[in-house]
Structure 1
Amino acid sequence: MLDATPDALMKAVMDRQHKSGDFNGLQLHTGSEPDLIDAAKGLVADRKLEVMASEVDYPNPHIRPWPSRRTIESLDGLADAADGVVVYPTPSALKGVRVPARLKG
């Protein structure tokens, strides 16, 4: 279970992206805690997270081929998303983040 504070969620998203080996995002689904969804909404509003959904963005939301245009409302409709949504850090959230050496190049 993830800690629902914005800092902890942001760390979990960054860890998922950098440790997955494929720059994957963190999946949120209908069973996610409401406090976690609220934290994600705040980070989307602050432009620190982007939301990808398979129904509207790309068939596989674990692949982010372009910046997302999803909004906070994507998280409101989470119950309707068959595969949930996947959140990724935005480029501005990644500024100053050290990329692991194994991922460079």
Structure 2
Amino acid sequence: MVITFMPPAYMMMYIKRAEVSAHAVPLLLNLQRSWGAIRKAAGLGDIRFHDLRYTCVTLLLNLGVPPQVVRDIVGHSDIEVTMTIYAHLSLDDKRSALTKLGSALT
């Protein structure tokens, strides 16, 4: 099952409350209250809403989206935060690096 979030609703979770308009606050609170029912209906088990953010960022980085763009999407003030928390080498990247090392040593 694929769950699609429209970017404005997704990004609402990461905007400082002081920056959110009066119309957006009910949407934010409603999403927080409704997450359990949404999760259950989608068969997601015990996944937190924040886990979707983590997955989204990891997928964007693995798809080659520039880290600066990902940083802007999630609202980090420093690129180092994005790269430290979310940037993980994929298994394919590790295999490729070790293959290159093996080739260089033979």
Structure-2-length-normalised TM-score = 0.26
Structure with larger Rg: 2
- Which structure carries more helix by proportion? 2
Q: Which has the higher contact order (CA 8 A, sep 6+)?
A: 1
- Which structure carries more strand by proportion? 1
